C-alpha cells in the first residue's frame, strides 16, 4: 500500500545523502518566510511507505543493525520493522503473553497506548501508557529489551501515574536525554497540559517527586510531546486539537523551543507554550486528515518526522516526512 503524496524513495530512504544536502540547502534558503505561516495546502504529502502501514501513535528507533523498529498503540503494544524506512511488516506484540500489571488502568483490556522507543546502554527502552479513553486514571510503564523483538521485553515498573483527582494525565510519554546526560520524561494530554519529570538514568524510573509544566492550552486539546535537542535549542513538538475521529480528526503538529530542556518553551512569535503558544509544523490537507502524535528521530540523511494521519475512509496510517531547520532555526517538513 502506498500513502498519498510524492513517491520520493531517494528522499525518504536513508541513502542519497548528497542529493538530500543539495535539496535541503535550497529549501533552507527559501523557507524562512514560507515556514512562518504555511497554509495547509503548502505542506508536502507523506512520503512513500508500503506494506503494513496501519498505525496509531507511532514511535521509531533505528536499530544497531541499521533497520527500523516501530512501536504503536495496539493490543499489548504493536511492533513493526523495516529495513529501508519504506517497506514495513508486522513484528508482533511487545508482550505476547499480556501485560497484567496494566489492567488496573485499562479496565481489564489489552489495548496499550502511545509508546516511546529509544536505545541506551545497549538496551531498547519502551515507555508506554495504560488508560481508558477520556479518563485521567492513567499510568506510564517502562520495559527494556536487548533486541526490541516481540517477547523479549522485560517489565521494569511503573514510572508515573495520574488519578481522577489530579489535574494532569499520565499518557503519551517521551524520553529525552539532555546535554548534561540527565534523563527527562515528558507526557500529558488535555487537563492542565504537558508535564515533565526527572528520571534516574540507571533504571529509567523517577528520580524525584517534582512534576514540571512545560506546555498547555488552558484545558484545551494538547498532547503527545516530543522533545529533541538540535544545536543550542531543545525543540518541543506537540499535537493540538483532536485525534481519533477518523477523517474528521483535526490533529496538527506544533512546535516551540527553549535553551533549557525544562523550558520555558516559546513559539516563533515569542508566545509561551504554557499559554497556548505553538508554531504550526504540519496540518491536514487534501486526503491527509489530522496528522499528529509525532515522533522525531535522527537518521543518516536527515531528521525524520513520523506521525499518524487518517485516510478518507478513516483508517489511521503511517506518515513519514523529512524535517529540516530554516535559517532562523525553526523546523519545517519537506
Q: Which of 52, 172, 174, 223 is catalytic?
A: 223
β-sheet bridge partners, residue 129? 113, 140
The closest of 57, 109, 123, 33 to 326, measured between CA atoms, is 33
Residue 105: what are its φ and ψ, rounded to 5°?
-105, -15
Q: Quote the CA–CA distance of 91 and 157 in Å, as a whole number.
A: 24
The residue to which cell 499510568 is assigned: 139
In terms of C-beta density within 10 A (0-12 exposed, 13-18 middle, 19 or more buried), how is residue 322 classed?
buried
Element (H, E) at 309: strand 303-310
β-sheet bridge partners, residue 116? 127
β-sheet bridge partners, residue 60? 70
β-sheet bridge partners, residue 280? 254
Q: Which three cell numbers stand for residue 295?
A: 515522533
- The question of whether 223 is a catalytic residue gets the answer yes
Q: Where are the beta strands (DSSP E) in 110-210?
A: 111-120, 123-130, 138-145, 154-162, 174-177, 183-187, 194-199
- Are the C-beta atoms of residues 127 and 141 closer than 8 Å to each other? yes
DSSP string, 263-275: ---B-TTS-BGGG
Backbone dihedral region of 303: left (phi > 0), alpha (psi from -120 to 50 degrees) or beta?
beta
- The question of whether 57 is a catalytic residue gets the answer yes
- Are the C-beta atoms of residues 165 and 138 closer than 8 Å to each other? no
Q: Residues for the chain: how many in total?
A: 334
Q: Which of 57, 172, 174, 241 is catalytic?
A: 57
The closest of 194, 168, 173 to 183, measured between CA atoms, is 173
Q: Which residues are catalytic?
A: 57, 223
Amino acid at each position: 500500500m502506498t500513502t498519498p503524496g510524492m513517491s520520493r524513495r531517494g528522499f525518504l530512504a536513508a541513502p542519497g545523502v548528497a542529493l538530500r544536502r543539495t535539496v535541503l540547502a535550497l529549501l533552507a534558503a527559501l523557507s524562512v518566510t514560507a515556514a512562518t505561516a504555511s497554509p495547509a495546502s503548502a505542506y508536502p504529502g507523506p512520503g512513500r511507505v508500503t506494506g503494513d502501514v496501519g498505525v496509531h501513535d507511532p514511535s521509531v528507533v533505528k536499530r544497531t543493525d541499521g533497520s527500523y523498529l516501530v512501536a504503536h498503540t495496539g493490543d499489548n503494544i504493536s511492533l513493526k520493522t523495516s529495513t529501508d524506512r519504506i517497506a514495513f511488516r508486522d513484528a508482533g506484540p511487545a508482550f505476547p503473553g499480556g501485560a497484567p500489571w496494566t489492567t488496573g488502568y485499562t479496565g481489564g483490556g489489552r489495548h496499550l497506548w502511545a509508546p516511546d522507543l529509544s536505545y541506551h546502554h545497549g538496551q531498547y527502552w519502551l515507555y508506554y501508557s495504560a488508560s481508558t479513553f477520556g479518563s485521567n486514571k492513567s499510568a506510564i510503564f517502562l520495559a527494556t529489551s536487548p533486541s526490541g523483538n516481540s517477547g523479549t521485553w522485560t517489565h521494569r515498573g511503573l514510572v508515573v501515574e495520574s488519578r481522577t483527582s489530579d489535574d494532569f494525565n499520565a499518557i503519551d510519554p517521551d524520553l529525552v536525554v539532555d546535554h548534561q546526560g540527565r534523563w527527562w520524561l515528558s507526557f500529558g494530554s488535555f487537563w492542565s497540559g504537558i508535564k515533565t519529570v526527572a528520571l534516574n538514568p540507571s533504571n529509567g524510573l523517577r528520580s524525584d517527586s517534582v512534576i514540571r509544566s512545560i506546555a498547555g492550552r488552558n484545558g484545551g486539546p494538547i498532547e503527545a510531546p516530543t522533545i529533541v535537542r538540535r544545536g543550542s535549542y531543545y525543540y518541543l513538538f506537540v499535537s493540538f486539537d483532536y485525534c481519533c475521529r477518523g477523517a474528521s480528526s483535526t490533529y496538527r503538529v506544533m512546535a516551540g523551543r527553549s535553551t533549557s530542556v525544562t523550558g520555558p518553551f516559546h513559539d516563533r512569535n515569542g508566545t509561551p507554550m504554557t499559554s497556548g503558544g505553538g508554531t504550526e509544523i504540519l496540518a491536514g490537507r487534501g486526503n491527509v486528515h489530522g496528522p499528529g502524535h509525532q515522533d522525531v528521530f535522527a537518521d543518516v540523511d536527515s531528521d525524520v518526522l513520523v506521525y499518524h494521519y487518517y485516510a478518507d475512509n478513516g483508517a489511521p496510517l503511517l506518515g513519514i516526512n523529512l524535517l529540516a531547520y530554516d535559517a532562523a532555526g525553526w523546523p519545517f517538513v519537506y
